[in-house]
Amino acid sequence: MRVKSKKVLMGAVVAALVTAGSVGSILAQDKPVIATVVKISGIPWFDRMETGVKAFAEQNPDVVASQSGPATADAAQQLQIVQDLVAKGVKALAVVPMDPAVLEGTLKRAMERGTIVVTHEADNQVNTNVDVEAFNNDAYGTALNERLAECMGKKGKWTTFVGSLGSRTHLQWVGAGEANAKKYPDMQLVDSNNESFDDANGTYEKAKEILRKHPDLKGFQTSAGNDVLGVGRAIDEAGLSGKVCLVGTGLPNPSADLLETGAITAIGFWDPKYAGMAMNSIAKLLVNGKEITDGMDLGVEGYNKVTVTKGAGAGLLVVGNGMVLVDKSTYKERLF
Amino acid sequence: MRKTGGQLIVLVAINCLVLLVGAAISGGSFLSIFNLQSMASQVPEIGLLAIGVMLAMCAGNGGMDLSGIALANLSGVLSAVLVTSVVSGTEHPAAFTFAYIAVAIAIGFLGGLMNGLLIARLNITPILCTLGTQMAFTGLAVVVSDGKAVSVGSPEPLSSIGNGLLFQIPIGFLIFAAAAVLMAGLLKYTPYGFWLMLTGTNPKAALYAGFPKSRVIITTYALSGTLSGLAGVVIAARNVNVKWDYGSSYLLIAILVAVMAGVRPEGGYGRVICVVLAAVALQLLSSVLNFGGLSNFVRDFAWGALLLTFLAVGRYDLVGILFPGNRQRAALMRTPHASKRES
Print burial letters for B113-131: b (CB count within 10 Å at least 16), e (below 16). Answer: bbbbbbbbeeebebeebbe
| Residues B41 and A41 sit within 8 Å (Cβ to Cβ) | no
Q: Which residues of B touch A74 (CB under 8 A)?
A: 245-249
- Nearest by CB to residue B241, choosing from A15, A22, A102, is A102
pLDDT digits (tens, 9 = 90+) for A43-85: 878 888 888 899 898 888 888 888 888 888 888 888 888 988 8
In A161-190, the residues whose Cβ lies within 8 Å of chain B are: 164-166
- Nearest by CB to residue A19, choosing from B9, B20, B326, is B20
Please report whether residue A281 resides in a domain: yes
Share of chain A above pLDDT 70, in %: 91
Residue B150 forms beta bridges with which residues?
A: B242
Rounded CA-CA distance A188/A217 in Å is 9
Q: Which residue of A has its CA nearest to B4?
A: A1
* Same domain for A159 and A127: no
pLDDT digits (tens, 9 = 90+) for B303-340: 788 778 777 766 665 555 555 554 444 444 444 444 34
Lowest-pLDDT range of A3-17, A95-109, A114-128, B305-319: A3-17
| Residues B64 and B258 sit within 8 Å (Cβ to Cβ) | no
Q: A80–B19: do the CB atoms touch at under 8 Å?
A: no
Beta strands in B103-183 (DSSP E): 150-151, 165-166, 169-170
Q: A80–B286: do the CB atoms touch at under 8 Å?
A: yes
Helix/strand/coil for B28: coil
| Residues B197 and B58 sit within 8 Å (Cβ to Cβ) | yes
* Same domain for A125 and A71: yes
CATH number of the CATH domain containing A245: 3.40.50.2300
Please report whether residue B91 resides in a domain: yes
Total domains, chain A: 2
CATH number of the CATH domain containing B153: 1.10.3470
Sign of CA dihedral B222, B223, B225, B226: positive
Q: Nearest CA to CA, how far is B86 from chain A (Å)?
A: 23
Rounded CA-CA distance A132/B305 in Å is 39
Q: Nearest CA to CA, how far is A113 from chain B (Å)?
A: 10
Distances (CA, A) of B293 to A53, B57, B289, B290: 14, 35, 6, 5
* Same domain for A150 and A249: yes
Q: Which pTM value belongs to this model? A: 0.73
What's the pLDDT score for residue B339? 38
Please report whether residue A125 resides in a domain: yes
Please report whether residue A85 resides in a domain: yes
Please report whether residue A2 resides in a domain: no
* Same domain for A307 and A246: no
Please report whether residue B258 resides in a domain: yes
**What's the whole-number average pLDDT of chain B?**
81
Q: Name the pLDDT band for A135 (thresholds 50, 70, 90).
A: confident
Q: What phi and psi, each to the nearest 5 degrees, are found at residue B31?
A: -95, 10
Lowest-pLDDT range of A19-23, A45-49, A208-212: A19-23
Q: Nearest CA to CA, how far is A14 from chain B (Å)?
A: 10
Instruction: Return the number of other C-beta atoms located less than 10 Å from residue B167's C-beta.
Output: 6
Please report whether residue A26 resides in a domain: no
Q: A87–B148: do the CB atoms touch at under 8 Å?
A: no
Helix/strand/coil for B73: helix
Rounded CA-CA distance B107/B86 in Å is 17
The answer, for B317 touching chain A at a CB cutoff of 8 Å, is no
Q: Which residue of B has its CA nearest to A164?
A: B147
Q: Which residues contact B226 (CB under 8 A, 6 or more apart)?
A: B105, B108, B109, B112
The answer, for B4 touching chain A at a CB cutoff of 8 Å, is no
The answer, for B287 touching chain A at a CB cutoff of 8 Å, is yes
Greatest mean pLDDT among A176-190, B232-246, B251-265, B290-304: A176-190
- Ramachandran bin of A299, using left for φ above 0, alpha for ψ from -120 to 50, beta for the remaining angles: left
Instruction: Return the number of other C-beta atoms located less than 10 Å from residue B185's C-beta.
Output: 12
Question: At B240, which helix (H) or strand (E)?
Answer: none
The answer, for A83 touching chain B at a CB cutoff of 8 Å, is yes
Please report whether residue A221 resides in a domain: yes
Q: What phi and psi, each to the nearest 5 degrees, are found at residue A186?
A: -85, -10
Where does residue A89 rank: exposed (0-12), middle (13-18), buried (19+ CB within 10 A)? middle
Q: Which residue of B has its CA nearest to A13?
A: B16
- Nearest by CB to residue A74, choosing from B24, B29, B248, is B248
| Residues A90 and A107 sit within 8 Å (Cβ to Cβ) | no
- Ramachandran bin of B27, using left for φ above 0, alpha for ψ from -120 to 50, beta for the remaining angles: left
Rounded CA-CA distance A97/B250 in Å is 19
* Same domain for A276 and A262: no
Q: Whats the size of chain A, residue-wise?
A: 336
Helix/strand/coil for B297: helix
Question: How many Cβ pairs within 8 Å bridge chains A and B?
Answer: 167
pLDDT digits (tens, 9 = 90+) for A258-297: 999 999 999 998 888 888 999 999 998 898 888 888 888 8
* Same domain for A128 and A44: yes
Distances (CA, A) of A214 to A191, A240, B139: 10, 13, 25
Q: Which residues of B touch A171 (CB under 8 A)?
A: none
- Indicate the Cα dihedral angle B331, B335, B340, B342, nearest 10°: 90
Q: A87–B245: do the CB atoms touch at under 8 Å?
A: no
In 3D, which of B305, B307, B326 has the Cα closest to residue B315? B307
| Residues A129 and A116 sit within 8 Å (Cβ to Cβ) | yes
With a cut of 60, say whether residue A317 has pLDDT above it.
Answer: yes
| Residues A225 and A250 sit within 8 Å (Cβ to Cβ) | yes
Lowest-pLDDT range of B103-112, B171-180, B206-215: B206-215
* Same domain for A305 and A238: no
Interface probe for A, chosen from B1, B2, B4, B29 (most Cβ of A below 10 Å), is B29
With a cut of 90, say whether residue A94 has pLDDT above it.
Answer: yes
Q: Which residue of B has its CA nearest to A16?
A: B20
Domain extent for B17:
2-337
Interface probe for A, chosen from B20, B138, B240 (most Cβ of A below 10 Å), is B240
Please report whether residue A38 resides in a domain: yes
Please report whether residue B343 resides in a domain: no
Q: Which residues of B touch A164 (CB under 8 A)?
A: 245
Q: Name the pLDDT band for A6 (thresholds 50, 70, 90).
A: low
* Same domain for A144 and A110: no
* Same domain for A295 and A240: no
* Same domain for A81 and A59: yes
With a cut of 50, say whether residue B2 has pLDDT above it.
Answer: no
With a cut of 80, say whether residue A119 has pLDDT above it.
Answer: yes
In B177-236, the residues whose Cβ lies within 8 Å of chain A are: none
Q: Which residues of B touch A71 (CB under 8 A)?
A: 295-297, 299-300
Q: Which residues of B touch A25 (CB under 8 A)?
A: 28
Domain extent for A69:
33-133+272-319
Please report whether residue A188 resides in a domain: yes
Q: Nearest CA to CA, how far is A8 from chain B (Å)?
A: 7
In 3D, which of A120, A122, A132, A141 has the Cα closest to residue A325? A141
Helix/strand/coil for B152: coil
Where does residue B147 rank: exposed (0-12), middle (13-18), buried (19+ CB within 10 A)? middle
With a cut of 90, say whether residue A177 has pLDDT above it.
Answer: yes
Instruction: Compute the half-sphere exposure of residue A29: CA atoms within 13 Å on the CB side of its CA.
Output: 16
* Same domain for A209 and A296: no
Total domains, chain B: 1
Distances (CA, A) of B282 to A20, A78, B46, B276, B279: 20, 16, 10, 10, 5
With a cut of 90, say whether residue A307 has pLDDT above it.
Answer: no
Q: Name the pLDDT band for B341 (thresholds 50, 70, 90).
A: very low
* Same domain for A279 and A261: no
Tell me the three-class secondary structure of chain A, residue by residue. Answer: CHHHHHHHHHHHHHHHHHHHHHHHHHCCCCCCEEEEECCCCCCHHHHHHHHHHHHHHHHCCCCEEEEECCCCCCHHHHHHHHHHHHHHCCCEEEECCCCHHHHHHHHHHHHHCCCEEEEECCCCCCCCCEEEECCCHHHHHHHHHHHHHHHHCCCEEEEEEECCCCCHHHHHHHHHHHHHHCCCCCEEECCCCEECCCCHHHHHHHHHHHHHHCCCEEEEEECCCCHHHHHHHHHHHCCCECCEEEEEECCHHHHHHHHHHCCCCEEEECCHHHHHHHHHHHHHHHHCCCCCCCCCCCCCCCCCCCEEEECCCCCEEEECCCCEEEECCCHHHHCC
Rounded CA-CA distance B271/A299 in Å is 58
The 8-class DSSP code of residue B29 comes to: G
